Amino acid sequence: MGALSPWQSVESFGLSNASPLVPKGCSIVQVHLVHRHGARYPTSDALPAVFAAKLHAAATGKGFSASGPFEFLNTWTYKLGAETLTPFGRSQLFNLGMGFRMKYGELLKGFSNLPVFRTTSEARMQDSALHFAAGFFGVQTYQMEYHQLITIEGEGFNNTLAPYFHCPNSNNPIGSVQASKWEEVYLQSAWKRLAPFIRGYHLTLKDLVAMQQLCAYETVALSSSLFCALFTEQEWKGYEYRDDIMLWYGNGPGSPSASAQGIGYVQEVLSRLKKIRITEFRNTVNSTVVTNNVTFPLDQPIYVDATHDTALTTIFTAFNFTSLAAGGPLQTDQIPRNQTYFANRVVPFASNLVGQVLSCPAFDKPEQIRWILNDAVLPLTGIRGCEKNDDGLCGLSTFIAAMEQRIGEVDFDFDCFANYTIPDPDEITDGQFPRRLRN
């Protein structure tokens, strides 16, 4: 189900023997969590809602009939809400908070003031943050145990948790364009098989995509869906790959503005790690937020930020987690054998990235850091100076220096605001417009 999949524990991103548990000989000092909201209903303008409206118009007219595998459409009605969390989605974030408390609750002893966690102003973001807090602190006391900063998500406001509002080139349709090419490949047999069973309705490939999305949305909202059985296992693999393509080119390593969008969050993480306040504002960082010790404290042992899947993929790209992009650009005519980028592994509903800052006295550099995505430790060998390590560890000072260099490498103004044409084929793998093609 691609990015509409429920959260799952990922086995490995290349370090098969690494565990999300703190390595022996080390102790946890600080933790940074950025997570996606829980399972939600589709947006009001998404394919499922559009399909439902078209189907209703046809079914209330003359000449409509559905038979065979489509027979259920004669009585099917659209029962989904719009954009807010489903009950299951609320439970996901409660469970995430509860699990996070079990793993890292001891760090609460290091707070001198109430913790400050961040989310954005969208309803599903606020609900996700509050359910996380209820799971983390407890239902009866959570409202008194921390402060919830709600950052404005909208045009005209810098926000590292919703960076696309301050990056016009994030609206480039390359993700959907590339995905449409693949739809022409993987859905042809499904269309030929299913089209004869519906009359009085012009069935399109986009309708079939909508049905696959309805399977996903109805499953996380209503527990099951009749749309799921319409497609073969191979067609479901095709749909998964469609989502991979959408994210890769739209907001991931193949997008020329992905690193620019995510680099503001990297800058904020460095500010927290170094305990030095940000003074230069050249990207999506909100100066009002980060220059205030109340809204952006620098002395917390635990940081928690809630965001969207498309923002997470830009953050992963900005951090330069190269193991995710190791398989290279995604083809639009077939699924590659060496694929390493999977939407359902990197940004399912309730996806979470955890940065562990560790004290490892036996190491040459006792201060270490590592990053864990959906329970799988990420290799950091793509980050300058970080050597191969079975536990995914990198010296904290080395990581900080590499991220400072990374911030300097990303040309936010060009990648977000310049008038350029994305190369075709798009061979971008680092989320930046190729410097060799710049005028």
Query: What are the catalytic residues?
Result: 37, 309
**Tokens (6 digits) for 319:** 């951090």
**Tokens (6 digits) for 124:** 């599903």
Q: From CA 186, how far away is CA 190, in angstroms rounded?
A: 8
DSSP summary character for residue 344 = H
Angle (CA) 110 115 119, round 5°: 145
Q: From CA 213, how far away is CA 340, in angstroms rounded?
A: 23
3-state helix, strand, coil in the chain (%, to 5): 45, 10, 40
Q: Where are the alpha helices (DSSP H) in 142-296?
A: 142-145, 174-186, 188-194, 205-222, 233-251, 258-274, 287-290
Q: From CA 204, how far away is CA 50, in angstroms rounded?
A: 12
Q: From CA 141, how far away is CA 139, in angstroms rounded?
A: 6
Q: What are phi and psi of 333, to 5 degrees?
A: -115, -15
Residue tagged 């399977």 (tokens): 215
DSSP summary character for residue 318 = H
303 DSSP β-pair partners: 32
- Please spell the DSSP secondary structure of 416-428, one letter per residue: HHS-----SS---
Q: Using an 8 Å Cβ cutoff, are 19 and 256 in contact? A: no
DSSP summary character for residue 437 = G
Amino acid of residue 408? G
Number of continuous H segments (helices) and E segments (strands) in the chain: 14, 10
Closest CA to 82 of 111, 137, 27, 123: 123
Q: From CA 38, how far away is CA 418, in angstroms rounded?
A: 34
Q: From CA 179, how far away is CA 186, in angstroms rounded?
A: 11
Radius of gyration of the chain (CA): 22
Closest CA to 40 of 354, 348, 374: 348
Residue 48's Cβ-count burial label (10 Å; 0-12, 13-18, 19+) is buried
